[in-house]
Amino acid sequence: MLSTTIFVALLLGLLFGSIVLWAFFLRVGLRWAKVPDSTTRRVIIATGTVIFVQIASNVFFYRVSLSSETPSILLGLVEIAAAVIFPCLIIRHIFKTRILSAFKTWVPTLLASVTVLAFNILLIRLFFFEAFVVPNNGMAPTLIGHHWQGACPECGRPSYCSPLDERQGFRDLPRMICGNFHVAQSSNVDKRVHSADRFLVAKFLNPRRWDLVVFHSPENPSILYVMRLVGLPGETIRIEDGAVWVNGDTQEPPDSIRGIEYVSHLADWHGAELWGSAERLALLGDDEYFVLGDFSAQSMDSRMWQHGAQGHNPFAVPESHLIGVVTHVFWPIQRWSILR
């Protein structure tokens, strides 16, 4: 709840700040262009109208970018053109001026967007929230990347898997996971590629067991992963009978993932024993974490890593690699959820 309160407060603050700055720089532009009858009432009406149109336009283009096959460069050019044309037309209409004067009036308002963007990058993204997109389906069904969707043969709920390249001659039915964490091969598959979840990460929260965290890969820090944190610094982790054991005690998962079963042995894994198995316990250092994917049968997580960060265990995520805790899934709308 804290993360939601802070996010809403920041969002409303940004919106209010955008409105005030835009109105201020609109005043500057009106004086520069020497537009007559620039009353406070007209400035307020113009500012409110432009902000509303900009928000609606951003939502529209965002949705189009997710579902359209239009080249991103072309779509970006159209979006930029709309961001210039719409405000100029609104200013021209409200202040009864020529289009060139409207354009001259609009130019200083770009400083409002630059100020808000700088505030967002230098403060909000650095210390509060940052948005990410799910890179794969190792965290399905909690977080879903680009995917095929089907129906679970066991319970009928929607099930998910990563799209397969059928040109490589796959003959087996895809292995999918549903919202009840049933893993099964399904013949009822919609092979349209559905879009990936987009989510927010809070950088001010301390990670807790069962949180979803975004982190730099210990093997290659340029790659970002999102997984579930199950092991904390100084603990000994074992996976047995589908459950996580910490220092010899089994851990009860939260209700949101009730029924999940973590795998400690994989028949098709050609490496050594998995980390966290009874034969290969994971002993975490004082600043190390152990992470697992919810799609346990197909997640490349702490159990399988062979090379860790310098000076750390191969299975561990160093504290310095953590970016933050996943708090909200915000897109697609039907996937909206609060995770912490």
pLDDT one-digit tens code per residue, 75-128: 888 888 899 999 999 999 999 999 999 999 999 999 998 999 999 888 999 999
pLDDT band at 273 (very low <50, low <70, confident <90, very high): confident
What span, in angstroms and rounded, lies between the C-alpha atoms of 325 and 214?
Answer: 6
- CATH code linked to domain 199-338: 2.10.109.10
Tell me how long the chain is: 340
Cα–Cα separations (whole angstroms), residue 59 to 66, 130, 193, 201: 11, 18, 22, 21
pTM of the entire predicted model: 0.85
| Measured distance CA(255)–CA(257) in Å, rounded | 5
pLDDT band (50, 70, 90) for residue 271 = low
DSSP string for 200-255:
EEESSSPP-TT-EEEEE-SS-TTSEEEEEEEE-TT-EEEEETTEEEETTEE-PPPG
In the chain, which residues fall in CATH 2.10.109.10?
199-338
Question: What does the pLDDT read at residue 67?
Answer: 65
What percent of the chain stands above pLDDT 90?
Answer: 71
Report helix, strand or coil for 98: coil
